[in-house]
Structure 1
Amino acid sequence: MKHLMFSVFILLMLSACDDKPEPKQSEVQQIPEVTLEQQFDNYQGLAWQVVEALQNQSTTQQLQDLTLKLITSSTGLFLNLKAQLPECEASLHALADATEFQQPQSNDTDALKNEIIINLEPNLPEFAAASCYHAQQLLLNPLAVYSLAQQADLAQSDYQRAKLKMIDSFARIKQLELITAIE
């Protein structure tokens, strides 16, 4: 009996001391995948910064910088929405392409240092569903604010109109959150 108990004890000990190698972490850490919800939150956070700048009647350069940051950071959101809104794939692809800007070619690099070419009226396909329209407005509203910010002197009405465009973007985000949660 002692011999049997001793054998069981040894088996338990050996199974507890399994020599399985622990998975090694790769030297290159993987970037965590950003969820659609996080991208919606990021968009809203940046849009809120634009609204605050409009409320404070910031300079046109500050408004341009903030709206440009919002526009360029939207690329991932548009690409991520493709899985949720397959009926909008053509539109979402065009939106993602429209958020990538080019620097003009010239020999005078100092003059073009911060200048980029922005298409304020991108050629977008007709939307196939209301969800596609909501997604398009997430780009078109900040582009309209950017366009207004290019004016030398903004009037009070310009700030109000731009603020309404950004508030409309919040409504579009809420609509898309509802649509993507249902599907």
Structure 2
Amino acid sequence: MISGCDNNVTVQQHEHATKPSPVSALEQYPQQASDLLNSIRAKKDAASLEAESAQLVILSLALIKEVIVKYPQCTEYLNALSTVATAIASLPLIEIENGYHSDGKLPPFDDPVCYHAKDLVVHPATVQAHARLGLDDQLAYQNAELDVIEVLAHFEQLEQALAD
């Protein structure tokens, strides 16, 4: 006598057990920023770096939402940034510096965590702007590299604040 056995349940259980759980923006950000840094150091073409930095800007917007939940005192400041985040890279570099790095176009804030969260958007947007301009020389790559190194430092501060 031949008998058959349906292993479908076992296969489904195994597939379910091996599916990775979704990774949060907080977990994704440092890896994506490090990948961008490595791409800059490898001197990838400007179009690739522009796309990678744009993705980091989008990811940072998800992180900003998490910051606002935990630090509602940052709401006005970070919402003002969020409304222009994807357009920042299209601005002239001096306008990005004065308006967003130096906060000239943003409302005041009371908590340093707000500033750290803001820079998770502004630095990748600056890299995106540099890439949009072509990254024509070594100095442009160095500036982009410094922006990502700085954003990783801001991320560490923000990660600590969110863990508290």
Structure 1: distance between partners of 2:135 and 2:75: 39
Counterpart residue identity of residue 180, structure 1: L
What is the Cα deviation at residue 118 of structure 1? 4.1
Structure 1 residues 153 and 45, CA gap change in structure 2 (3 angstroms): closer
Out of 92, 117, 136, the residue aligned to residue 78 of structure 2 is 92
Structure 2 unpaired stretches of 5+: 1-20
Number of positions where the alignment pairs a residue of Structure 1 with one of Structure 2 = 133
Tell me what 1:128 maps to. 110
Tell me what 1:142 maps to. 124
Out of 134, 138, 145, the residue aligned to residue 156 of structure 1 is 138
Indicate the SS of the match to 2:106.
coil
Structure 1 unpaired stretches of 5+: 1-32, 102-116
Structure 1: distance between partners of 2:153 and 2:55: 20
Whose helix proportion is higher, 1 or 2? 2
Tell me what 1:181 maps to. 163
RMSD, aligned α-carbons: 2.3
Structure 1: distance between partners of 2:146 and 2:61: 23
Tell me what 1:83 maps to. 69
Q: TM-score by structure 1 length? A: 0.64
Identity %: 25
CA contact (8 A) 1:75 1:95 kept: no
- Using CA pairs under 8 Å that are at least 6 residues apart, name the structure with larger relative contact order, 1 or 2: 2
Q: Which has the larger radius of gyration?
A: 1
What is the Cα deviation at residue 127 of structure 1? 2.4
Indicate the SS of the match to 2:110.
coil
